[in-house]
Amino acid sequence: MGRLEGKVAVVTGAASGIGAATARRFAVEGATVVGWDAVGSDGLEVVDVRDEAAVAAGVARAVAAHGRVDALVNAAGVAGGGPVHAMDAAEWERVIGVNLTGTYLTNKHVIAAMLEQTPDARGQRGSIVNIASIEGLEGTEGGSAYNASKGGVVILTKNLAMDYGRRGVRANCICPGFIDTPMMGAVFDMAGMDHVRRSFVEAHALGRCGEPEEIAAAALFLVSDDASFVTGSALVVDGGYTAGHQHGIAAMMGLA
């Protein structure tokens, strides 16, 4: 029996990367997965998370079809940024719109549905996992809009935990390090970025970037009953990227 047997989960950004890996893992664990993405793909609903009417309709369809929504994973996201003095306002709005406003809108309508559901034996009605980033915890050169959006996701998640914990809804976020996804590839595959990619990889204590399946595993834990006493957390899954700084001393000690 899977860890999510009989559960219904909405996963945004389910066409690729972390969202796709999460949808697959949840299905293996027995969940009925309602996958959303802004682009058409087999088995997924086309939902632009910036469009409140589309989000509300998508939640209503999930409840009508399956009776409830037990989990939400917000993995829809876009990259973007640059120095603020040179950034077009439209680019700022695009990044904030998907990464932060989209997270707010999906939470708004899924939580409203969860509050109408009958709680389980522990009084739980549902679990939220928002995909933030380590770039929502610390600055990155050129990160501006992306970092701001992910920092907003972190603190929004903490507020959700405070507001809805006693109504049976848990809310947590995951702060991944640099994960090998199409979105990361689109950034690091640009001309002149080879040395930047190597620098980011080396900054992880484990000496590699993460895989989408490793973030999906963390999301599975957070929505499962194993995390029944976990809410308001920003779970860092970053291969040691934020653990500290490396300056070659480990190699001098024969450890690298």
Of the candidates 210, 198, 217, the residue with the CA atom closest to the CA atom of residue 239: 210
pLDDT for 135 = 94
pLDDT computed for residue 130 by the predictor: 98
| 3-class SS of residue 170 | strand
Boundaries of every domain in the chain:
8-228
Instruction: Give the model's pLDDT for residue 245.
Output: 81
pTM of the model: 0.93
Question: Phi/psi at 146 (nearest 5 deg)?
Answer: -65, -50
Residues of the chain with pLDDT under 50: none
* pLDDT for 253: 81
Nearest to 22 by CA among 221, 171, 183, 244: 221
Question: Given this model, what pLDDT does residue 211 score?
Answer: 96
pLDDT of residue 195: 73
The CATH superfamily label for domain 8-228 reads NAD(P)-binding Rossmann-like Domain (3.40.50.720)
146 noted as active-site residue: yes
Cα–Cα dist 46/50, whole Å: 12
Closest CA relative to residue 33, chosen from 246, 219, 218:
219
Q: What is the DSSP-derived secondary structure letter of residue 119?
A: P
198-235 b/e with 16+ CB inside 10 Å = b? eebbebbbeeebbebebbbebbbbbbbeebeebbebbb
